[in-house]
Structure 1
Amino acid sequence: MLSKISGDDDETRRPLPVSGMLAAAATLGVGLAVLITLTLVGWIAAPRGALGAGLPGVFRTAAQIWLAAHHAGFSWPGGQLGLLPLGLMVLPAVLLYRAARWMARDADLRLRLPARLPKNSPKEQANARRRAQLVLVAQAGISLAAPYALLAGLIALVARNEITQPFIGEALLSHFVLAFLAGMLATARTIGSWRSMLRLLPERVRAVTVGTAVAVALLLVAGLVLVLVAVVVNFGQVRELTNALAPGFVGGLLLLLVQGLYLLNAVIWGMSYIAGPGFAVGTGTLVAPTGVQLGYVPTLPLLGALPESGPAPALMMAVIALPFAAGAAAGVVVVRIAPSPSYEAAPLWGFVTGVTTGLAAGLLAALSGGPIGGARLAAVGPSPWEVALSVCLEVGVAAGISAGLANWWLLYQGARGRGPIARKLNSARKAGAVIAKAASKVGLAEPEGKALPGHWMDATEADTQPIPVIRDDWQDEHASAAAESLSQTGSRRAEPPRQPRRDIVDESDDRGGHVIYLDPYAWDRDD
């Protein structure tokens, strides 16, 4: 009955592309419904035609916000709009992840292994299964991303008006990348736990990935702390800018929401400040640990936390040590996950972690900045290549040194029988001893430490067994049997029975009732 039910369930499962198309359409529908509702509330609260004429203008505004949530820029008569809030990406990311989980449960996700699997090596079989799982995860990501990007192109065409023109190329690319990542993560999570998701990657790739994530997370935490400290120190200026706008109650809530959505951008700018290159708030401006040069700043209360123009305090130069600390932590993590058997390889993998961290930091810097129109505000945010180069060198050097030292310490501890490697080996030995002891109690194995008696001539000098004592009542059974056989055949004259021999040695080794008779002095006799 169970097999019949499971078979029916397998037959009702949809193909993966069909489930991906349904998940993509559902994500767009739910996301646009949420944004249209919020936009309609804002239109009712401020009915001044700012959102367009009537409901069509509300829908176009919601569609433009949806495109901006995927980091797709716009062009208008005064220039371009590329400085988009990264916090707005949370809405489509969450919706895509939930839709991808539904797709993984609804679709026919069968792990299709190669027709010929290696049968001799378990490691090769595990690698073949891992590759098949990665192919399945990639197929699921493409099945969700392809229709999602096509539907986004239609949304970009609908959202166009006389003022704002969405970049259709950016819309297609951003929607595809975000949906592909969400689909891959959701499908991998369906296969196993979060830790097993990393197990899909090879050991070295997994170590570099985790090390990069640790370094980037530490840099972002340091940037968040820097932003919060700047807001607290310059809170008076932030409050003055808020009062100058006079947004009112509803406007104040919307202003607070906008600043919250731009908080992640500010955190990345703080990370760029810590890395050294800093960031710009317009052409010809710079905010860095070496000094601050500002001009006209947009009237956004969050920008009131910027320091005043002039040389930075000497104490601010200490923040440059934070990327080195993040690199040191990342190098230790890389070695803990995948220690190297040689001393030369560990620093190289640590520096590779620094390179990947620099690339990730450069990508975040590119996403966090962008133009706001033209003229002076055409360059806002950090420079991606400067941030990538600085983070690569700072984190890479520190990660290489810490990885080399940590790997040397692990090898040294392992050679002395200590450390995590030695503890694993000792645990394995103890577990083997416990299993052997339990097996000996139930009769599955011979207990250790109990030597069996052996032949005294075969033993070494240290293991010599006591020489058996010759007993008087032993008889030569072989000679008696031979005499009896001859008397029965009649081929020879019966010989009188021999006297019992006193030179027979008894060796009962196996204690199983079998007695072995041996004459060690037979070579000295003629008969």
Structure 2
Amino acid sequence: MTAFIDRLRAAPRSVLSKIALSGVTGDDDDTRRPLPVSGVLAAAWTIGVGLAVLTTLTLVGWIAAPRGAVGAGLPGVFRTAAQLWLAAHHAGFAIPGGRVGLLPLGLTLLPAFLLYRAAMWMARDADLRLRLPARLPKGSPKDLANARRRAQLALVAQAGVSLAAPYALLAGGIALIAKNEITQPYLGEVLLSHLVLAFGAGSLATARTIGPWPAMLRLLPERARALTVGTAVALLIMLAAGLVLVLVAIVMNLDQVSELTGSLSPGFVGGILLILLQLLYLLNGVVWGMAYIAGPGFAIGTGTLVAPTGVQLGTVPSLPILAALPDAGPAPAWMTAVLVIPFAAGTAAGLVMVRVAPSPSYEVAPLWGFACGLSTGAAAGALAALSGGPLGDGRLATVGPSPWEVVLSVTLEVGVAAGMAAGVSNWWLIFRASRGHASALARLGTAAAPVRKAGAALARVAGKVGLAEPVEPSKLPGHWLDATEAETQPIPVVRDDWMDEHASAAAETALPGRGRSAADRPPRRDIVDETDDRGGHVIYVDPYAWDRD
């Protein structure tokens, strides 16, 4: 089984390589086809494999129920498979009674997976990593990084267009084939849906070939990267909560689901196809659960509502999974607790955003948090629009959540919580940074404190034993010229009995007969005496020494 899966994964590259190299001669392994040619081959392979899978499933259903609505003969089987392929891209149909827009989101996983694998082959086949510019403009490292990122983004977009353009054109031809008297695909929706899905899958696969997943995020600027990660976190939390809500509802109403399944009597093959159909619609139910958690809820027909505030239902289609819907009437009071989940998702998104790109100021972070709420609301509204749709023009013309209500509710709930969480978290990071700087200075002072204490202790011991003079804690007086600014400091005076200690020392060391003794010298009156009582010493300062030298 493992070998079969490995061969299936390697099939796109091997098959396309054989087809493309069938007319190429020579042993040059470095030969690379132009990117548009690789895109056409990848688009053709994706549509061919997808139609083959859906045709096989449709053929099984036709064999199990030959008189069903599959179609007359093998042409009808292929036409039905083509319609399913268009529905997998969420392209609606026009029917005599209105429009069919409630399409299974789970079926979109098939073309998305095939497109991703084909785009990976396209990127390797064209060797897009060697197409990056070898020379970048001169500048700082930041300028070089920005230039390289822009070149990579341009290459990713070019690869997405190279796959999406031929893919949409081929889908237009399929839409013409799938048209019949009952169902008529909308050609505009077909082209747009195939173009968007192929561009997204092709761009994602090309970015993945450039580097790992973290490198893919680094292709975006810092703020855009933080906003993308925050939006993804909030949306995934709400979708996970919606999935848990749906699974719990199915488990609690499993008896009703089994009873409704038995009443349909689908048989063995029909039972398998019925289970497959419900699994394909499970993603729609997850989005409906997200809308329920957000508050607006969803509808199962005109004039119905399933919300935390209450349930109002009419006649429900005979799909077993719909038996898990709550009973009509007011909802239990404890169900309103699910409204806390969007706020929790917004809080987590705000914290993640600040971790990815903290703001330099307190005021900016809450604004980016609310911007995360806007992007999350837009994404949730798009999912709500894709998960619902009409089933004709009768009572089932309104099925699913209201997109604008989901956008408004999710934006306010997630935006407010993300803004508050981002603001508080960003403030805490700035506060910790400032405290870290102050702590570093305090650690330096703490490290020097023991040295100062030891020096003071040694000085006290030395003073007691007579090796040093005791140090008084009194403050030394300043210069006498500063006495006007410190009125408590006495102004020094000139003493009449002052003797120049330097002159006295010179007189004592002078030879006999030379000079005069200290007693014969007249007292000098040009010296200001500043007395220091510490230890009985007298400090003499001559402010006019510069004039005599």
Q: Could you state the TM-score of these two structures normalised by the residue count of structure 1?
A: 0.77
Residues 73-472 of structure 1 aligned to structure 2 (within 5 Å): 73-109=92-128, 110-113=130-133, 117-417=136-436
Separation in structure 1 between the aligned mates of residue 368 and residue 180 of structure 2, nearest angstrom: 51
Separation in structure 2 between the aligned mates of residue 224 and residue 38 of structure 1, nearest angstrom: 27
1:70 pairs, out of 89, 93, 111, with: 89
Whether contact under 8 Å (2:61, 2:270) holds in the other structure is no
Q: What is the letter of the counterpart of residue 346 of structure 2?
A: G
Whether contact under 8 Å (1:111, 1:132) holds in the other structure is no
Q: CA deviation at 1:237?
A: 1.7
Partner of 1:53: 72
Separation in structure 2 between the aligned mates of residue 418 and residue 253 of structure 1, nearest angstrom: 66
Separation in structure 1 between the aligned mates of residue 228 and residue 131 of structure 2, nearest angstrom: 25
Deviations along 1:455-476, one digit per CA (max 9) or x if unpaired, are: xxxxxxxxxxxxxxxxxxxxxx
State which structure, 1 or 2, has the greater radius of gyration over its C-alpha atoms: 2
Separation in structure 1 between the aligned mates of residue 317 and residue 194 of structure 2, nearest angstrom: 29
Separation in structure 2 between the aligned mates of residue 418 and residue 48 of structure 1, nearest angstrom: 80
Deviations along 1:254-296, one digit per CA (max 9) or x if unpaired, are: 1100000000000000000000000000010000111111011
Separation in structure 1 between the aligned mates of residue 437 and residue 214 of structure 2, nearest angstrom: 27
Whether contact under 8 Å (2:253, 2:323) holds in the other structure is yes
Q: What is the letter of the counterpart of residue 27 of structure 1?
A: T
Separation in structure 2 between the aligned mates of residue 51 and residue 42 of structure 1, nearest angstrom: 8
Q: Could you state the TM-score of these two structures normalised by the residue count of structure 2?
A: 0.74
Go from structure 1 to structure 2 and tell me whether the alpha carbon gap of 1:418 and 1:32 turns closer, same or farther (over 3 Å shift): farther
Q: CA deviation at 1:226?
A: 0.7
Q: What SS does the aligned partner of 1:416 have?
A: helix
Q: Which runs of 5+ in 1 are unaligned?
A: 1-6, 427-527
Separation in structure 2 between the aligned mates of residue 395 and residue 401 of structure 1, nearest angstrom: 10
1:21 is the counterpart of 2:40: yes
Separation in structure 1 between the aligned mates of residue 307 and residue 108 of structure 2, nearest angstrom: 28
Q: What SS does the aligned partner of 2:306 have?
A: strand
Whether contact under 8 Å (1:325, 1:398) holds in the other structure is yes
Q: CA deviation at 1:359?
A: 0.2
Whether contact under 8 Å (2:86, 2:175) holds in the other structure is yes
Partner of 2:474: none
Whether contact under 8 Å (2:64, 2:270) holds in the other structure is no
Deviations along 1:324-360, one digit per CA (max 9) or x if unpaired, are: 0000000000000001111111111111001000000
Deviations along 1:144-174, one digit per CA (max 9) or x if unpaired, are: 0000000000000000111111111111111
Deviations along 1:349-381, one digit per CA (max 9) or x if unpaired, are: 111001000000000000000001111100000
Go from structure 1 to structure 2 and tell me whether the alpha carbon gap of 1:45 and 1:418 turns closer, same or farther (over 3 Å shift): farther
Separation in structure 2 between the aligned mates of residue 247 and residue 128 of structure 1, nearest angstrom: 60
Separation in structure 2 between the aligned mates of residue 131 and residue 329 of structure 1, nearest angstrom: 30
Separation in structure 2 between the aligned mates of residue 248 and residue 124 of structure 1, nearest angstrom: 66
Q: CA deviation at 1:113?
A: 3.4
Separation in structure 1 between the aligned mates of residue 132 and residue 356 of structure 2, nearest angstrom: 29
Q: CA deviation at 1:53?
A: 1.2
Separation in structure 2 between the aligned mates of residue 76 and residue 311 of structure 1, nearest angstrom: 37
Deviations along 1:410-448, one digit per CA (max 9) or x if unpaired, are: 1111112289xx9xxx9xxxxxxxxxxxxxxxxxxxxxx
> Identical aligned pairs, as a percentage?
76
Q: What is the letter of the counterpart of residue 319 of structure 2?
A: L
Q: CA deviation at 1:118?
A: 3.8
Whether contact under 8 Å (1:74, 1:166) holds in the other structure is yes
Q: Which runs of 5+ in 2 are unaligned?
A: 1-26, 444-549
Partner of 2:22: none
Partner of 1:462: none
Q: What SS does the aligned partner of 2:131 have?
A: coil
Q: What is the letter of the counterpart of residue 311 of structure 1?
A: P
Q: What is the letter of the counterpart of residue 432 of structure 2?
A: Q
Separation in structure 2 between the aligned mates of residue 301 and residue 37 of structure 1, nearest angstrom: 25
Give the RMSD, CA atoms, in angstroms. Answer: 1.7
Separation in structure 2 between the aligned mates of residue 52 and residue 74 of structure 1, nearest angstrom: 17
Deviations along 1:297-325, one digit per CA (max 9) or x if unpaired, are: 10001110111111111111111110000
Deviations along 1:14-71, one digit per CA (max 9) or x if unpaired, are: 0000100010001111111111111112111222153111110000010001001111
Separation in structure 1 between the aligned mates of residue 416 and residue 115 of structure 2, nearest angstrom: 38
Deviations along 1:202-238, one digit per CA (max 9) or x if unpaired, are: 0110000000000000000000111111112222221
For these two proteins, the number of residue pairs brought into alignment is 413
Q: What SS does the aligned partner of 1:417 have?
A: helix
